[in-house]
Chain A
Amino acid sequence: MAAAARLFLRGAHTKLSISSVSTVPQRHFGPALLKLSPSCDPHTQTQCRHAAHFTFQPDLVPTQYGPTQKMNLFQSITSALDNTLSSDPTAVIFGEDVAFGGVFRCTVGLRDKYGKDRVFNTPLCEQGIVGFGIGVAVAGATAIAEIQFADYIYPAFDQIVNEAAKYRYRSGNLFDCGTLTIRAPWGCVGHGSLYHSQSPEAFFAHCPGIKVVVPRSPVQAKGLLLSCIADKNPCIFFEPKILYRAAVEQVPTEAFTIPLSQAEVVEEGSDVTLIAWGTQVHVMKEVAQMAQEKLGVSCEVIDLRTILPWDVETVCKSVVKTGRLLISHEAPITGGFAAEISSTVQEECFLNLEAPISRVCGYDTPFPHIFEPFYIPDKWKCFEGIKKMINY
């Protein structure tokens, strides 16, 4: 019945009345089964779910890490966690609903394989999850905490900022929680709205003592997550949820690491530097192509990968070369991480700049539901940003 109601509401422009609804399994439910009254026109434009604002662009198959297997992003996460539980007997994974496999299927199969003392549910309490994780790490074990959505990480903010980040410093290195990694699904997903779309990296970028990492693809996700787990500092690993299924690559099955605090130049160029992280890297790749085709402008695309501590050297080296910088993220523009990059780059590369640094970001609003297509920093907005810089 609920499915019927949803379909009913979707045809918002027309007045529909349901004469009968047959009870069939949801799979087979289609508009045809709704007997509409004669006054309604089934061909009226119904709102389709908006197509994705990006196209995932896989990287070349990595050859240096051994045999690979086709995996999407959530499977590459599972693979990383599998490698970890296999090689590190102290490692435990916990959070809400991780036992059955997780709401995004990142932990499927791990409890059966490694035991219920190693992959387990916690009560519904983010401050508890992170506090517990800190304690596990302080006792010397590897703690991998899952926060179900980055939007719900805030109850744990005190534990992350006041405790995890400061553990080593405040104790004079007597204690630390370096073996803690916190994972959370992150970023827009087409319909997530205020509380299933957020990108909170900027809140944590302001916190010395933790590391913040965002991968753009399955291979990157596995390598970066394994680096976070191995890293001797508490790390937050944000996973772009829109890529969980949409991003598919050949991913090495064995463990491998990708270094933290190293940005990657994913495409070389000479006229404009484009910086992004996570999903937005794929938007930028497309923008680079558009700029080349329509404007004859050559763009250098950089995936920042680690937000904190960030790779100032690679970014500045690129801007010295191109003279123009455009940074783009979904999070609101004011106080967003683009502001930090912009500020540092103008300090370091002032005389190299041909145009003001451009930020194409979400607006200073909560993340909207129905207005998502207008809210996000899509390729057209980024393209326009490049045009303005070139014509400055």
Chain B
Amino acid sequence: WSRENCVTHDHRLWRRSLVTSQPSLLLRAVQVLSLSKETVLNFYHKMTLLNTMDRILYESQRQGRISFYMTNYGEEGTHIGSAAALEPNDMVFGQYREAGVLMYRGFSLDSFMAQCYANADDLGKGRQMPVHYGSRDLNFVTISSPLATQIPQAVGAAYAIKRENINRAVICYFGEGAASEGDAHAGFNFSATLECPLIFFCRNNGYAISTPTNEQYRGDGIAARGPGYGMLSIRVDGNDVFAVYNATKEARRRAVAENQPFLIEAMTYRIGHHSTSDDSSAYRSVDEVNYWDKQDHPISRLRHYMASRGWWSEDDERAWRKQSRQTVMEVFERAEKRLKPNPELLFTDVYEEMTPALTKQRESLFRHVQQYKEHYPLDLYDKDSH
């Protein structure tokens, strides 16, 4: 947490300094870790499984099978590194590009796909667009589309958890674009003044849709804002899964021990488009994307490390790729065949209880659908409500 950790972050300068570095030199900053081979292999499996799932689901949107998708290409290191440094009962508030955190915690492929397909197995009951995951069991608060709204909420949750006096922290993920929202300022200020045990984790991936960082802010990135709020911050190489792990581990330890917030700015790059509704060739060059994909990818860097330890061979790679793709495809086919949730679920959970008005509206819809049933896709929907 010293000044040496904070370097000028301008993404173009950042990139330029790496062009001349060999992959192995980038790992200089990695401290000797006491992570076991098993743990590191798990990092790799989760990062690549996420990547495989992303490829298949992105493609499924292009084919009209799901309505929308957002990939995590290039940011797998930020997800797995930080998730591994947390305790399972730590609360996670995310933005929308943190699927790897859920995957690390054990969210099943079935559950991911059920949400994307909005089928009857979706824990969210089919209410939201794809990638708006949530899991109570895994302490991952359901994603919402408005940006940065989770930031002050994470602070409130951390405050309540602080009062419980247990070993529990909150982590709040957001992108460098969302950090421009008023809610981000509110959250940072509240967390420091109210002394909350939480980690703010900013994925600085270079773009907010088409807006590059030099149009998002003029200051020294997001980490530099921390001291303005009285908050300690650090900038890390987000594509170095071990650096992310170390920073998050230390931040968590101190957040809980000292009841104060920490800000981690993880420098990474959004290799994929913003979403399936975006074609990023409209605002950035293929060369730029290829640089990060080929020269500074968290998955490749981890693989090189594992290979250098003798933990991973090309045969292992081939076998794993084949196996993970097969697993994802099986789940995918299952998810596609599953019916959608019963339309009754349109009306529940608005309030904890049903209201007279909603009961009336529900009855009105059902009468209508009975009368005009040939105009409604009832066959796609579950007949039973759960």
A and B part of one assembly: yes
Give A residues with C-beta under 8 Å from B.
90, 92, 117, 120, 122-123, 125, 127-128, 130-141, 143, 155, 158-159, 162-163, 166-176, 178, 208-209, 211, 232-233, 261, 309, 312-313
Smallest Cβ distance from A48 to chain B, in angstroms? 43
CA distance A342 to B122 in the complex (A): 40
Smallest Cβ distance from B153 to chain A, in angstroms? 4
One of B66-74, B159-167, B318-326 at the interface: B159-167
A-B contact pairs, 17 of them (CB 8 A): A117-B163, A127-B152, A127-B186, A128-B190, A130-B152, A131-B187, A135-B157, A137-B156, A138-B157, A168-B350, A170-B142, A172-B142, A173-B349, A174-B123, A174-B134, A309-B355, A309-B357
Smallest Cβ distance from A44 to chain B, in angstroms? 50
Given contacts A135-B157, A139-B156, A209-B351, contact A123 B189 (CB under 8 A): yes
The answer to whether A140 and B160 have CB atoms under 8 Å apart is yes
Within 8 A of A (CB), among B339-386: 348-353, 355-357
The answer to whether B186 and A131 have CB atoms under 8 Å apart is yes
The one of B136, B153, B351 that contacts A233, using a Cβ cutoff of 8 Å: B351
The answer to whether B146 and A163 have CB atoms under 8 Å apart is yes
Contact with A along B121-144 (1 / 0, CB 8 A): 011111110001011100001101
The answer to whether B186 and A135 have CB atoms under 8 Å apart is no
Within 8 A of A (CB), among B8-33: none
B91 at the interface (CB under 8 A from A): yes
The answer to whether A174 and B160 have CB atoms under 8 Å apart is no
Q: Of all chain A residues, which has the CB nearest B125?
A: A172
The answer to whether A136 and B157 have CB atoms under 8 Å apart is yes
Given contacts A122-B193, A168-B349, A178-B352, contact A135 B158 (CB under 8 A): yes
The answer to whether A131 and B152 have CB atoms under 8 Å apart is yes
The answer to whether A122 and B159 have CB atoms under 8 Å apart is no
Given contacts A90-B160, A128-B186, A132-B159, contact A139 B124 (CB under 8 A): no
Q: Of all chain B residues, which has the CB nearest A162?
A: B146
Give B residues with C-beta under 8 Å from A.
91, 93, 122-128, 132, 134-136, 141-142, 144, 146, 149, 151-161, 163, 182-183, 185-187, 189-190, 193-194, 348-353, 355-357
CA distance A235 to B128 in the complex (A): 23
Instruction: Pick the 3 closest A-B CB pairs, nearest first.
Output: A135-B156, A131-B152, A128-B186
Inter-chain contacts of B141 with A (CB < 8 A)? 138, 171, 175
The answer to whether B151 and A131 have CB atoms under 8 Å apart is yes
The one of A117, A158, A175 that contacts B134, using a Cβ cutoff of 8 Å: A175
The answer to whether B356 and A312 have CB atoms under 8 Å apart is yes
CA distance A134 to B125 in the complex (A): 22
The answer to whether B189 and A141 have CB atoms under 8 Å apart is no
The answer to whether B193 and A141 have CB atoms under 8 Å apart is no
The answer to whether B144 and A132 have CB atoms under 8 Å apart is no
The one of A140, A163, A208 that contacts B144, using a Cβ cutoff of 8 Å: A163
Inter-chain contacts of B128 with A (CB < 8 A)? 170
The one of B124, B125, B135, B159 that contacts A135, using a Cβ cutoff of 8 Å: B159
Given contacts A127-B183, A233-B352, A261-B355, contact A171 B153 (CB under 8 A): no
Given contacts A117-B163, A172-B123, A173-B125, contact A123 B193 (CB under 8 A): yes
CA distance A175 to B135 in the complex (A): 9
The answer to whether B122 and A172 have CB atoms under 8 Å apart is yes
Most buried by A among B151, B186, B350: B186
Inter-chain contacts of A130 with B (CB < 8 A)? 152
Inter-chain contacts of A175 with B (CB < 8 A)? 134, 136, 141-142
The answer to whether B142 and A171 have CB atoms under 8 Å apart is yes
The one of B187, B351, B352 that contacts A128, using a Cβ cutoff of 8 Å: B187
CA distance A313 to B360 in the complex (A): 12
CA distance A312 to B358 in the complex (A): 12
CA distance A170 to B96 in the complex (A): 14
The answer to whether B156 and A122 have CB atoms under 8 Å apart is no
The answer to whether B156 and A138 have CB atoms under 8 Å apart is yes
CA distance A120 to B190 in the complex (A): 12
**Given known contacts A90-B160, A132-B152, A170-B132, what 9 new A-B pairs fall within 8 Å (CB)?**
A123-B193, A128-B155, A131-B187, A132-B186, A170-B127, A172-B123, A175-B142, A209-B350, A309-B357
CA distance A168 to B186 in the complex (A): 23
Inter-chain contacts of A134 with B (CB < 8 A)? 152-153, 156
CA distance A159 to B350 in the complex (A): 16
The one of B151, B156, B185, B189 that contacts A136, using a Cβ cutoff of 8 Å: B156
